[in-house]
Structure 1
Amino acid sequence: MRNSIDRLNDMIFAPASLRITMPVILLLAAGILVVMSASSEYSQAYHGVPFYFLLKQGILTLLGIILLLVSASMPINFWRERSSTLLLLNLILMLLIFMPILGKEVNYSTRWLSLGVFNLQPSELLKISVPLFYAQYLSKDSQDRVNDFRLGPKLIVPLGMIAFIDLLLLLQPDFATAAIYTMAVVGLIFFAGLRLRYLFFSGFALLAMAFSLVAAQPYRLNRLACLIDENLWERFYEQCYQVGNSLVAIERGGLWGLGLGSSIQKNFYLPESYTDFVFAIIVEELGLVSGVLLICVFVYLIYSLLRLALDALHKGSLFIAYFCAGVATIWGLQFVCNIGVSLSLLPVTGLTLPFISYGGSSLMSNLILVGIIVKMSHQVYSENYDEESSKLSAEMAQ
């Protein structure tokens, strides 16, 4: 058992793995600090103590690290062979949301399962099951299939599955998450060899669908109005209120910020200050410099993931390549959307900032992904992977 722990430690802190784990550690540390500050007023008001959300986030972080270690100890084939089963279980959980007893509605959306002591958001688990499923599906045949990917029968399963997932997400409703997973899947299919002209066709179809869905809901049009003209903010006060206060926080922070814990907007002026709009609080308290550094850390994480995907592709590990590319796309889009909303560049989406925003389902799903990626990194860059993996799996089973 001790040898297995040593091997796991060597795997996580190997130079190649550190390109993934170090940015994650920095983001987790930043998340703990900003949740401590941004949630203090809400904790005091709703729970009678200033650090309720901080304590909960700390416990969730520890649980997430344990899940990271467990997922890193699993052989790659464990995830490959169970990819379809995991997605099926995930879809069942999403269907359970619509049961009156289990589904929990927050802010007019039913996205959570109420499980007594905690709430589970099944759409966050899709970050794991969707890349696993599509990586397995796109890599299970020969290289010839990947190089000759055309619009036709081979696309029925991947496009049909993401259409069903989108339907479940839109019924919650969760338009932004549906858009992110759809773009990630289309990007993966292109990465797997889809001809460029078919990608353009898919892109136009997705844009037409997106505009139709936006036009169908007045509140979505109102959110877009906030981006078009500031003079419309008073007219659409409810939709523009958060964005307006986010910009106030960023402007007030300036270059160096007001100091940790000194935010004014977190005092009930900016709703969701420790979840959806956490970036605005970071800039207000720690300054634009810290905001730019945070962006740089995340860009490096995405770069490292894409580099791992390309190295895996060159070594013929298609499953690893597609999985890492899918995760990089999901994380990258979520990061861009969250910061874009805070800067009033995108309409309000309700998406959190990965590894930083408060939220148990998101945090633990992301840390499980980190564990899987660490294992994949070890396989791609280690010549003795097969022998070490067999020993580790045998010892962990004892």
Structure 2
Amino acid sequence: MKHRMRKSISSYRLLAPVKIYIRIMLNVGMSIMKRSSVASRSAGMANNINIDRSLYFTILSLLVMGTVMVYSARLPLPSDSELSFDLYNLGMHPVHVLLGLLVMFIFLHIPISIIEKGSGFFLLFGILLLLIVFFKKVFGGSDVLVDGAVRSLNISRFTFQPAELMKLLIVIFSAGYAVRHKDRITEDLVRGMGPIGLVLLLIVTLLMYQPDLGSVIIVCSSTIVVLFLGGMTIRAIAGVTCFLISGVLLIILFTQFRLNRLLAYLDPCSLEHSQNAGWQLCQALVAFGNGGMFGTGIGLGSAKLGHLPLPHTDFIFSVIGEELGFVGVFTVVIIFAFLIIKSIKIGREAMAQDRLFSGLLAQGIGASLCIQALIHVGVNTGLLPTKGLTLPFISYGGSSMLIVCLSMGILFRIDIENKSSPRKKNRINGKVW
């Protein structure tokens, strides 16, 4: 008991420098909530309608936890006599969060009809950004990341990864495509999947040239989910899924470092793999083992001290497991589950009001977040081979933070329009939504 109390006191003292940022974040968040009622003239609404508070506080809780864990993951392990650290360990994370909240506030005031009309243009813009990254790598660029990958664009002092934007844009485009070509995707696989298949092929090619297999998996999976919800038959979905899985396996088999990761995944802590391809996964599992039920305490984990690569981004879930234990890990999973269920509920309500695009978009956003979170958790816990993906809302990363907050702004807008529209029953493929 005394040991646990001592850890709690140490963790509290470690978090003292970051409390001011958390306070600012919460103040900004509460201000946004108070100002986010939408006037009737913005979309022909009869009354001002407030955003869903349960969803909003869920997002805020993830952002606060992310700020705390990013700070902790970048801390050195303190001695009992040295417990003060500056805010350098947060890096640009507070700026990313505040910008994300601002973007979310802006997009919850944009009518979904505008997003629907511009879905094709938005996708072209995203492809253009990917082409710029492509040409930067072909002709040489300065934004070289790990393993020679070029994924970002320089914007003043900031960098932006178009792949993160594409995860959202493909959901928007797929929802619009499913609405415009509903007869095609439900009756003719070739005519229905042909055009969007060519678009996907171009996007996948550009992403793989970076290379970024994780984004490819999320983009393709999100598209399949949206088209399935839009009416594509299970038989067609199964065929497309098998084709995509075969493609991913071929990519892995013919890329040596990915093949090494797959082999290491089978036994990461063996003598053969523990010092090379299996190092990350082995150290992640050690971190979870150290955490036990209640964790070592915030800031008191040891895996981040040169053992666990990228503890503030790709492996932040392992840091949570070590410092907050099973209780912290379970809490994060429950919060994400609530967020995803909420997006599905909002989408189904929109479809019940004959607003198919909004319904598909809301559920597609939920699916994209779910897939990315599942891959991140699966990699960190050893259920999936190692693949670098951030944990939405929690991991360090400006591009990811801006896009997930933008997605939440759209989700809030759909919910607001649901509440302002008369409820209707909508039959899609014989089902009542």
Q: Same fold (TM over 0.5)?
A: yes
Shift of 1:277: 0.3
Shift of 1:229: 2.2
Shift of 1:252: 0.3
Partner-residue secondary structure (3-state), 1:73: coil
Aligned residue in 1 for 2:172: 132
Write the deviation string for residues 165-205 of structure 1: whole angstroms up to 9, x where unpaired: 11111111111210111111112111111111111111221
Q: Percent identity?
A: 27
Shift of 1:39: 1.4
- Note the 1:47-62 alignment, pairs <5 A: 50-62=86-98
Aligned residue in 1 for 2:161: 121
Within the alignment, does 1:23 sit opposite 2:58 as a pair?
Answer: yes
- Note the 1:229-244 alignment, pairs <5 A: 229-230=267-268, 232=270, 234-235=272-273, 237-244=275-282
Q: Distance in 2 between matches of 1:50 and 1:270?
A: 22
Aligned residue in 2 for 1:39: 74
Query: Would you say the 8 A contact 1:23–1:297 is kept in 2?
Result: yes
Aligned residue in 2 for 1:388: none
- Compare 26-35 and 95-104 and name the one that shifted more: 95-104
Aligned residue in 2 for 1:7: 37
Aligned residue in 2 for 1:46: none
Within the alignment, does 1:94 sit opposite 2:130 as a pair?
Answer: yes
Amino acid at match of 2:155: L
Runs of 4 or more, structure 1, over 6 Å off, are: 9-12
Residues paired across the two proteins, number: 372
Q: Distance in 2 between matches of 1:225 and 1:213?
A: 14
CA 23–150 in structure 1, closer or farther in 2 if over 3 Å, else same: farther
Aligned residue in 1 for 2:320: 282
Shift of 1:56: 1.3
What's the C-alpha RMSD, in Å, of the aligned pairs?
2.3
Amino acid at match of 2:162: P
Q: Distance in 2 between matches of 1:289 and 1:347?
A: 25
Aligned residue in 2 for 1:75: 111
More helix by share: 1
Aligned residue in 1 for 2:247: 209
CA 248–21 in structure 1, closer or farther in 2 if over 3 Å, else same: same
CA 147–107 in structure 1, closer or farther in 2 if over 3 Å, else same: closer
Aligned residue in 1 for 2:301: 263
Amino acid at match of 2:75: S
Aligned residue in 2 for 1:389: none
- Compare 235-244 and 292-301 and name the one that shifted more: 235-244
Aligned residue in 2 for 1:368: 406
Shift of 1:53: 4.6
Gaps of at least 5 residues in structure 1 are 43-48, 386-398
Aligned residue in 2 for 1:191: 229
Write the deviation string for residues 20-54 of structure 1: whole angstroms up to 9, x where unpaired: 32221111111010011101349xxxxxx743251
- Note the 1:292-303 alignment, pairs <5 A: 292-303=330-341
Write the deviation string for residues 105-136 of structure 1: whole angstroms up to 9, x where unpaired: 11121111123411110000113211111111
Shift of 1:331: 0.6
Partner-residue secondary structure (3-state), 1:148: helix
Partner-residue secondary structure (3-state), 1:105: coil
Partner-residue secondary structure (3-state), 2:360: helix
Shift of 1:13: 4.5
Aligned residue in 2 for 1:345: 383
Shift of 1:60: 1.2
Shift of 1:344: 1.0
Shift of 1:146: 7.3
- Note the 1:280-359 alignment, pairs <5 A: 280-359=318-397
Aligned residue in 2 for 1:396: none
Shift of 1:138: 1.2
Shift of 1:149: 4.0
CA 312–348 in structure 1, closer or farther in 2 if over 3 Å, else same: same
CA 176–55 in structure 1, closer or farther in 2 if over 3 Å, else same: closer
CA 25–12 in structure 1, closer or farther in 2 if over 3 Å, else same: farther
Aligned residue in 2 for 1:45: none
TM-score, normalization by structure 2: 0.81
Partner-residue secondary structure (3-state), 1:119: strand
Q: Distance in 2 between matches of 1:111 and 1:311?
A: 37
TM-score, normalization by structure 1: 0.88
Q: Distance in 2 between matches of 1:31 and 1:308?
A: 25
Shift of 1:7: 2.5
Q: Distance in 1 between matches of 2:265 and 2:121?
A: 42
CA 365–6 in structure 1, closer or farther in 2 if over 3 Å, else same: closer
Aligned residue in 2 for 1:160: 198
CA 82–233 in structure 1, closer or farther in 2 if over 3 Å, else same: farther
CA 86–53 in structure 1, closer or farther in 2 if over 3 Å, else same: farther
Gaps of at least 5 residues in structure 2 are 1-33, 40-46, 78-84, 424-433
- Answer 1 or 2: higher relative contact order, Cα 8 Å, separation at least 6: 1
Q: Distance in 1 between matches of 2:56 and 2:76?
A: 32
